[in-house]
Amino acid sequence: MLDIGQIHRKEYEIDRDRSVPVVFAESPGRIHFLGEQGEPESGLYLSAAVDRFIHVALSQRKDNSFRFYAANIDERKRSTVAGLKYRREDRWANYLKPAISLFIELGYTVKGLNFTFCGDIPQNIGLASSVAIETAVAAAIRNLLNVQINDMDFARKLKDAHEKIFGNSVSLADYLVCIMARKDHFILFDSSLNDVKLVKSPFANFRFMLVDSRVPRMGAEKETSSRKEDVLKGLELLSQKHEGSGYKDYASNDLLEVIGSFPEQIRRRSLHVVEEIRRITDAVDSLERADLASFAKIIYHSHESLRDLYEISCPEIDWLVKRAQEIEGAAGSRMTGIGFGGCTYTIIRRELVDEYKRRLEDYERIFGFRPVIYEVKLASKARIISEPAEKPQCNVTTTTVSGTVRKRAYANTADK
């Protein structure tokens, strides 16, 4: 494990001068349990933060440059105010730039800064490690400059800063989960109303298991963009027949009434979104009533919809979900992330975890990939911490069905 405080002071030659203040911040990864494939700008999300983190150490410099150090991989980058734009060669360092730009846009004087970061959020399985980097850095700068800003504005401005640098649209929900999450709670976010509701988790005696299928996802982003376009086309067709501004304003019956005017592909995508909205509402009701059997059915139906209507699953992912579904005591299993491989989550009673892992032992023989299992808990939001008394976990520890392996994180890119 890496001692980020000691590493930061040594890296920037302040290890002997304890009068130089260092700000420490951490930000969690996140899971979207439902709603991730909904309407891009006005959807519903049922999400939570998980206890895998990005850790950041920050101190001021005497000059005006920005120095970035990725402790996991012992790699350095640098920039200036003029260089706060996307540069392919900066790779991981690009994800530290939006936070700096955010406070410059707010009118604050941001002089030279030293950054050190490390983390244990697995990449490329849909836990938003890139958002966690941005949020941890922003939280550290916010503390250093003593900036007073409410959480919703903070999330929105950080999202806008990301889009300005990267030139792509991202979900506000990702940032809100990192900035507003509470331990052992789900977050219901209605992006059409900018409304956030915290829902207490009834899963005290359960475990949250993530299974990385290890399936290569070539072309997944292009396919995902195609489905988002279909969703928007479906909404346009619906609005021609019924009054409404978003899918939340429609029901399945509205879709059935105009089905003749829908191309089949758009009909399937639209039906998934409309029914997912209802599933999210029902899932929150089940959580509040601690009706775990009902919640499990909703989660399984959502995965079936992703498989049959939205069409972003694959045989490997379906197999993993099916193994969980066979276990009485599992409270739901579903793919998460952009699909076409990637990761599943399973909520299962703690005494059944070994049985669940045993049922995955045939996966590698059947599909040729060795699945990697992560056990996580629902965590709290990004926060400032004192210099860690215990070393942050900055190497990713993973479990395969046949043992434990370790791997280094953040070698190339971060995961959205």
* Active site residues per annotation: 174
173 CB contacts (<8 Å, ≥6 apart)?
A: 32, 35, 43, 45, 47, 189, 191
What backbone torsions phi and psi does residue 19 show, to the nearest 5 degrees? -75, -15
SS3 320: helix
**Contacts (Cβ under 8 Å, ≥6 apart) of 362:** none
Of the candidates 382, 295, 277, the one whose C-alpha atom is nearest the C-alpha of residue 49 is 382
Asked if 208 and 376 touch (Cβ cutoff 8 Å), the reply is yes
Provide the token pair at 72: 């996991």
Q: What is the Cβ-side half-sphere exposure of residue 64, based on CA atoms within 13 angstroms?
A: 7
Rounded CA-CA distance 19/136 in Å is 23
Q: Which residues contact 17 (CB under 8 A, 6 or more apart)?
A: none
Run of H or E residues at 300: helix 292-308
H/E stretch holding 237 reads helix 220-241
